Structure 1
Amino acid sequence: MTYLQPIKTVFLVLFPLFLWSQSTIIKQSSLSYDTINNNYFKDEGNYQKQLAWANVYLEKAQKDKKSIRKARGYYLVAILYYTDKPLKAIQYLDSVIKYSKNNSNKFFPAAAYCEKADLLLKQRKFDEALRNFNLAEQAALKTNIDYYYVVRNYIAITKSEDLGEVEEALKLYQECFKYYRTKEYRGDYSWDYQNILFGLADCYKSLKNSDSTTFYNKLGYKEASITKNKVYQLLFALNEGANQVDKKNYSVALDSIHKVLPELIKIKNEINVLASYYYLGKAYTGLGNKSKAVQNFIKVDSMYKIRKRITPEFISGYSYLIDYYKHIDDKEKQLQYITTFMGIDSVLQRNYKHLNKILLKEYDTPHLFAEKENLIQSLKKKQSTSDVGILVLVLLVITIGGFGGYQYNLKKQYRKRFDAIVFPATIERTNNPKNEDTKIALEKITAGEQSGIPIETVHQLLEKLALFEKDGAFLEKTITIQKVAIKLNTNTKYLSKVINENKGKTFVSYINDLRVEYAITQLQVQPKLRNFTMQALANEFGFNSAESFSSAFYKKYKIKPTYFIKELEILK
């Protein structure tokens, strides 16, 4: 079962101003460290300027001979490379570590070790990642016990999810559980505590200890209910449904999963929607309902093809589909799912170090390869020239007959959508205005619906996001959630949750929607922009490519930007 594991990149556990308390600001060339730092973030999106400011910071730190300032300077450089040049980012993180490991700072060098470990995990360098996590916990143990247990949780997740070392992960979760029980686990620590409870339940489920799984699922659901953490209420209920499948209590499992699935779909928790379909398929398999089992395993496959990601836990549905279509002699479908399964097997072998420990018993790869080749040859023999001719003729008739009607209806839909954008006073738009979004968000906060974040913090973040939108900071092409969180003096977990729960979308969708709304306005008030190429417009509005601009535009308004511009020209 996949759960809300903490973001392993911990740039944003750091508060950008925490270093300012380390020493008195020393002026150099009339600039303070604060001023340099602020100028650095003011020039977000301009790599050269930001690098120049980082170097100014480093030069000042070198002159002042302040090691912790040097660490901060190298940190400013590292975050410029984190996404696009991870190897270079690691080099600068090593410098952060070098200049901070002899300081009793609350976060450095622990956070730098953690960030380095995250980058190594993405490169599948598991042993090196674990070594850096261990160094992070050693550093945190001396200066920040709360952060020590955050790191312990990261290690547990890595061992459970990536390495398959479930028993070792379980010991770490138990240790964290004891710690958080001594804290305000229904207050500031509620999210961390419930995360640990889920880790315990998930480990026990992997170890086939169904009674302990049920115990922690019930305890987690109770805590999530008390703290009004609706997301974790759903996840604990789903996890227990999966546990009931393993216990062969199929009807109980179906009841539990069917209750949570609509809510998971509503909040767009895609990986756990996929998990729901998988366990529904397993439950229907147990009840002997082949038709519904196939329906749900096909939904798992559909979501995989969209997400392009799946974990070993959810792949056995493919063996069921392969056998099912083999039994009814549907060679096309059988070949389709064999091909997909083999592709997944290849990806899993690369990405999961422990795959050899969880042998894929359904099929071995050589067997699949042979069966795939046999199916291809069989299908080729059945195919004849006359069949192809008939198929082509039928397709031509259908295409010619339907194309005209399709184009006519498409133009009507496009025009209606265009009018909804340009004439919002007469046509009701499908998207709430920003002020309505803010009103809804504030009502949620007042009603106490925010989960795991103090209400005052949510208010502050919403106000900062309003300024962020007003300043047009979303137009910066290399913007990331890490950079925004640092700029807003928060962490990625809080920022992501506030955007998810108050804007109703992911961070990426939030940024893209802001850019597209800005594009809509500018294309109407600045006619000269309509003569720009799509690539030039993409650059103007913060996108990296014409394709990404067009895709985001269509996703929000269901029309292409080329059509919108053409219709604007007709109106003038």
Structure 2
Amino acid sequence: MHYFRNRKKIILYLLLPFFLTAQKSVKDNLTDLSYDDLHNLYFTNVNNPKVQILYTDAYMKKAVKENNNIRRAKANYQIALLYYKSDTNKAIQYLDSVIKYSKGSNDKYFPAAAYCEKADFLKTQFNFKDAMLNYNLAEKAALLTNIDYYYVVRDYIAVTKSEDLGEYIEALNIYKECYVYYQDKDTRSSNYAGEYVNVIFGLADCYKSLKKTDSTSYYNKLGYRESKATNNEEYKNLFILNEGANQVLKRNYVAALDSINKALPKMIEYNNTGNVLAAYFYLGKTYEGLGKKAIAAENFIRVDSIYKVTKEISTEFMDGYPYLISYYKNLGDKEKQLKYITTYMSIDSTLHKNYRELNKLVYHEYDTPHLISEKENLINSLNKNKVKTYWGMGFLFLTVIVLGSFALHQYRTKKQYRSRFEKIIKETNRNDNYQVNKENETGTDPDKIGDIGIGEELINQILEKLNRFENDKEYLRPNITVQILSSTFETNTKYVSKIVNIYKEKSFIQYINDLRVDHAIGQLQENNKLRKYTVQALALEFGFNNAESFSTAFYKKTGIKPTYFIKELDSSTNQQNDYKPTI
């Protein structure tokens, strides 16, 4: 449930002292105060940015005067927080300064915290690619200095995969990893209680998204017990609300109604707008299941009202709009029917992953002839705002055309990807590991010797070493470079680089990446256990530093993403297993 996650800034609270000292009187020269005093005064004035600026300015001056880089980093971090709501680009600039001054400091939280915060800001700009890159950098930094915080970062990554990218299986695996880590910790202490319930909620939410309702109930109950034991009232009610949503999936509507009605007043009390929206949505689904159409519509209208104010909604809560469109269509209320059609089709373009469902609604419920007829009926029956209605319906008609073109493009792309997948399979030796034999050929080409400017004997030696390098799968070593390989071959980088360019007909980086991808293709076909790995784990398995570089190299070589390749492999395997020959 995308809005159920507690989105409070974890880092800020990690940096607060456990017991803030009483606020000191402001001295004429603030730089005479200690760093801890200035830090405490900054955070005890969170509702007064003008005063906070005074303290962080003094903190920065003190750090510059003492040439203390880690303190400079923390001052920049405080400034970045001041831009949290007003200017994300400015906040990112200051976080970059935090990273610059804290690199190599061995501080428990920096630069890892700055990478995390930067990733959060990038997510608000829907730049998920760079956000994930920064989370990965935070992982690496935290792993060296603070293993507890490393798992906080892992939790952030799982949240992003689940709530923003819809990668529930990968998110679930990360949550399980975190859950195992906390098993030998005092999870009811102030150090671990908050993160532990975060992880439990993540498990429950992923299982619910995957419609594993029994597992969802198990973790909702566990989370409820832990929240109650640690007096975490907000999370206790979040687990109640999440279980209410889960009971909707189970079609236990009476139980769902009981849970949601218990949690909703608390969400309103905590001013948790996202979860108030979620509660009204699932009340609507509950009453829809109970056959109480008017009450269901009332709750879906409340969802729309919150969306109108916040301009935030996820695909999970879009289902109320088709219900309202159908509801008012049956009542003959064309004005409201048109209103919710327009709203549904104008939802933020960042929800483009839902266009397929949206397109299905338009073509099945509002196909082109129907739209033309609807347009005429609405103009005649409403008899007002004729010009506005004309343009509105014209826009709706054009939207249908655009969405139809988008659907056609998606179909062609899918067909093209399938063709590329089949081509890869045909080119693969099914009985041995995938190898590109032409890249293992040795022997010089007389026409190329003149071009390359290296003696024939030396070329043959390097080609033989490259052949052994490929056969021994040395390319799976991470961070392999032309310098490292040249040193191993006891020659210089120019020779190796030129021979790879001429004889392999590609750059050195492309040569290494292609070997790794070819190996990955063979291994993924041979070993179905590897297909259950995350893309990050597969990247490390095949010599890449991160999931992004693996996916990029795989796509460049094959024209498809590794996730698609794995999905098609699994699909092909399942079809073979389902096939039973007749005797």
| Of 222, 225, 231, the match for 1:222 | 225
| Of 144, 157, 161, the match for 2:159 | 157
What is the CA deviation profile of residues 330-375 of structure 1, one whole-angstrom value per residue up to 9, with x for unaligned ones?
A: 111111111221222xx1x32x57546x844762489769667754
Q: Which residue identity lines up with residue 184 of structure 1 in the other structure? A: D
Q: Distance in 1 between matches of 2:82 and 2:286?
A: 48
Which has more radius of gyration? Answer: 2
Q: Which residue identity lines up with residue 3 of structure 1 in the other structure? A: F
Q: Distance in 2 between matches of 1:369 and 1:379?
A: 16
Q: Which residue identity lines up with residue 50 of structure 2 in the other structure? A: G
Whether the 8 Å CA contact 1:137–1:151 is kept in 2: the answer is: yes
Give the SS at the match of 1:10.
Answer: helix
| Of 250, 255, 261, the match for 2:253 | 250
Q: 1:106 to 1:14 in 2, by over 3 A?
A: same
Identity, % of aligned positions: 50
Q: Distance in 2 between matches of 1:49 and 1:263?
A: 37
- Note the 1:228-307 alignment, pairs <5 A: 228-307=231-310
Q: Select the structure with the greater relative contact order (CA < 8 A; seq sep ≥ 6).
A: 1
Whether the 8 Å CA contact 1:10–1:111 is kept in 2: the answer is: yes
Q: Distance in 2 between matches of 1:29 and 1:222?
A: 46
Task: Tell me the equivalent position of 1:477.
Answer: none
Q: 1:81 to 1:225 in 2, by over 3 A?
A: closer
Q: 1:72 to 1:48 in 2, by over 3 A?
A: closer
Task: Tell me the equivalent position of 1:45.
Answer: 50
Q: 1:374 to 1:145 in 2, by over 3 A?
A: farther
Whether the 8 Å CA contact 2:4–2:242 is kept in 1: the answer is: no
Task: Tell me the equivalent position of 1:379.
Answer: 378
Q: Distance in 2 between matches of 1:335 and 1:203?
A: 35
Task: Tell me the equivalent position of 2:361.
Answer: 363
Q: Distance in 1 between matches of 2:255 and 2:358?
A: 28
Task: Tell me the equivalent position of 1:563.
Answer: none
Q: 1:244 to 1:362 in 2, by over 3 A?
A: farther
Task: Tell me the equivalent position of 1:195.
Answer: 198
| Of 153, 165, 168, the match for 1:166 | 168
Task: Tell me the equivalent position of 1:101.
Answer: 103
Whether the 8 Å CA contact 1:11–1:115 is kept in 2: the answer is: no
Q: 1:304 to 1:75 in 2, by over 3 A?
A: closer
Give the SS at the match of 2:50.
Answer: coil
Q: Distance in 1 between matches of 2:40 and 2:213?
A: 55
Q: Distance in 2 between matches of 1:40 and 1:194?
A: 30
Q: 1:75 to 1:235 in 2, by over 3 A?
A: closer
Q: Distance in 1 between matches of 2:228 and 2:53?
A: 49
Task: Compute the displacement of 1:206 (Å).
Answer: 0.4
Q: Distance in 1 between matches of 2:195 and 2:178?
A: 9
Whether the 8 Å CA contact 2:63–2:69 is kept in 1: the answer is: no
Task: Tell me the equivalent position of 1:468.
Answer: none
Task: Tell me the equivalent position of 2:112.
Answer: 110
Whether the 8 Å CA contact 1:338–1:372 is kept in 2: the answer is: no
Give the SS at the match of 1:232.
Answer: helix
Task: Tell me the equivalent position of 1:185.
Answer: 187
Task: Compute the displacement of 1:254 (Å).
Answer: 2.5
Task: Tell me the equivalent position of 2:62.
Answer: 57
Task: Tell me the equivalent position of 2:88.
Answer: 86
Q: 1:224 to 1:280 in 2, by over 3 A?
A: same
Whether the 8 Å CA contact 2:116–2:134 is kept in 1: the answer is: yes
Q: Distance in 2 between matches of 1:215 and 1:47?
A: 44
How many residues get paired? 368
Q: Which residue identity lines up with residue 212 of structure 1 in the other structure? A: S
What is the CA deviation profile of residues 287-308 of structure 1, one whole-angstrom value per residue up to 9, with x for unaligned ones?
A: 3332332232223223333433
Q: Distance in 2 between matches of 1:256 and 1:31?
A: 55
Q: Which residue identity lines up with residue 110 of structure 1 in the other structure? A: A
Task: Compute the displacement of 1:324 (Å).
Answer: 1.6
Gaps of 5+ in 2: 20-28, 385-583
- Note the 1:352-431 alignment, pairs <5 A: 352=351, 354-355=353-354, 359-360=357-358, 363-364=361-362, 375-383=374-382
Q: 1:378 to 1:149 in 2, by over 3 A?
A: same
Task: Compute the displacement of 1:53 (Å).
Answer: 4.0
Task: Tell me the equivalent position of 1:14.
Answer: 15
Q: 1:210 to 1:94 in 2, by over 3 A?
A: same
What is the CA deviation profile of residues 234-280 of structure 1, one whole-angstrom value per residue up to 9, with x for unaligned ones?
A: 22222122112112222332333334334444444333232222222
Q: Distance in 2 between matches of 1:48 and 1:170?
A: 41
Task: Compute the displacement of 1:231 (Å).
Answer: 2.4
Gaps of 5+ in 1: 19-27, 386-572
Task: Compute the displacement of 1:168 (Å).
Answer: 0.9
Q: Distance in 1 between matches of 2:359 and 2:251?
A: 20
Q: 1:127 and 2:129 equivalent?
A: yes
Whether the 8 Å CA contact 1:201–1:213 is kept in 2: the answer is: yes
Task: Compute the displacement of 1:184 (Å).
Answer: 1.5
Whether the 8 Å CA contact 1:8–1:114 is kept in 2: the answer is: no
Q: 1:31 to 1:372 in 2, by over 3 A?
A: farther
Whether the 8 Å CA contact 2:73–2:101 is kept in 1: the answer is: yes
Q: Which residue identity lines up with residue 297 of structure 2 in the other structure? A: V
Q: Which residue identity lines up with residue 249 of structure 2 in the other structure? A: D
What is the CA deviation profile of residues 177-211 of structure 1, one whole-angstrom value per residue up to 9, with x for unaligned ones?
A: 11222212223222221221111111001001111
Give the SS at the match of 1:309.
Answer: coil
Q: 1:72 to 1:249 in 2, by over 3 A?
A: closer
Q: 1:77 to 1:314 in 2, by over 3 A?
A: closer
Q: 1:88 to 1:40 in 2, by over 3 A?
A: farther
Whether the 8 Å CA contact 2:345–2:358 is kept in 1: the answer is: no
Task: Tell me the equivalent position of 2:207.
Answer: 204
Q: 1:34 to 1:293 in 2, by over 3 A?
A: closer
Whether the 8 Å CA contact 2:188–2:226 is kept in 1: the answer is: yes
Q: Distance in 1 between matches of 2:31 and 2:229?
A: 53
Task: Tell me the equivalent position of 2:568.
Answer: none
Compute the TM-score of the two structures, normalised by the length of structure 1. 0.57
- Note the 1:469-488 alignment, pairs <5 A: none
Whether the 8 Å CA contact 2:256–2:286 is kept in 1: the answer is: yes
Whether the 8 Å CA contact 2:83–2:91 is kept in 1: the answer is: yes
What is the CA deviation profile of residues 524-571 of structure 1, one whole-angstrom value per residue up to 9, with x for unaligned ones?
A: xxxxxxxxxxxxxxxxxxxxxxxxxxxxxxxxxxxxxxxxxxxxxxxx
Whether the 8 Å CA contact 1:335–1:375 is kept in 2: the answer is: no
Q: 1:354 to 1:7 in 2, by over 3 A?
A: farther
Q: 1:332 and 2:335 equivalent?
A: yes
Whether the 8 Å CA contact 2:30–2:55 is kept in 1: the answer is: no
Task: Compute the displacement of 1:175 (Å).
Answer: 1.2
